[in-house]
Amino acid sequence: VDDTRKDGVQACDQRGRGQDGPAALALAVADPDIELVQAVEYAAHPLQGKMVKDIEPEAQSEVKLTSQLEKGADVVIDFSSPDGTRVIAKRAEELGIALVIGTTAKDFAWRADIRKSSDKVPMIHAQNFSLGVNLMFKVAGQIAKALGDDFDMEIVEGHHNQKVDAPSGTAMGIAGGICDAVGKDIQKDLVYGREGQVGKRKRGEIGCHALRMGSEIGLHTVYYASNFERLEFTHRASSRDVFAAGAIKASKWINGKAAGYYEMTDVLGL
């Protein structure tokens, strides 16, 4: 590893507008195996040029905010926006820097476009970095396969009132796990909310619904219901650090890997 620390990782964090970037900054600075070498924000950000420690009190680093990823990092951790991720992925390609991406969006074309960068650099693009959620992705599909279409399946996610996209990336990850397990098409077989005279529920459809309320960190429940019983499978995050900690773990794991697209299941050995 090209680093001043033994077995370490030189990391860049793209902060973005969410709440996970700042947490990742703090954990990266505190980790003895990571050296924070860059922090990136969009060019017009009012805090451009300020030191990280002056922006995020829990991240005591004198690294200054810059507007573009530069040489010197082994891995870039990105929690930003779809447009920001597109820019950082292309720049990482040019510089040969591994990508750990936590930006989420329902836009399937955007996700496919971002994935193209894995042809040139190693990439993990996770819908969620928590161990529990990644287990949920897998187990939700196993339950769906075991129960079959005799059970109606509905996914309900809840987040804080500042979240700007819906449904959450985690909800889409759960839906993807279910669709893969039972042979459904995530782009065709999901129903996003219901309103008006929608008719009777179609056999085999999967509902997906979003709640925005207060300071909820992350709540995801899959309902499996027949005419005789109901199973509820729930994950609830109790700290935002669970997502940042997973991104840090992923950055250590992917450093030095060959170009390619990797999953959090690879990192966690699931």
Q: Is residue 157 a contact partner of residue 234, using CB atoms and an 8 Å limit?
A: no
Tokens read off for 244: 């940042």
Please confirm, yes or no, whether 235 is among the known catalytic residues: no
d(CA 132, CA 174): 12
Please say if 220 is a catalytic residue: no
CA distances from 56 to 12, 22, 75, 184, 251 (A): 15, 7, 20, 43, 21
Which two tokens mark 19? Answer: 């709440």
Whole-angstrom Cα Rg for the chain: 19
| Cα 107 from chain centre | 14
- Selecting among 125, 159, 184, 252, the annotated active-site residue is 159
Nearest one of 32, 41, 39, 40 to 9, comparing CA atoms: 32
Strand partners, 209: 156
* Cα 119 from chain centre: 20
Catalytic residue among 45, 106, 163, 209: 163
Catalytic residue ranges: 159, 163
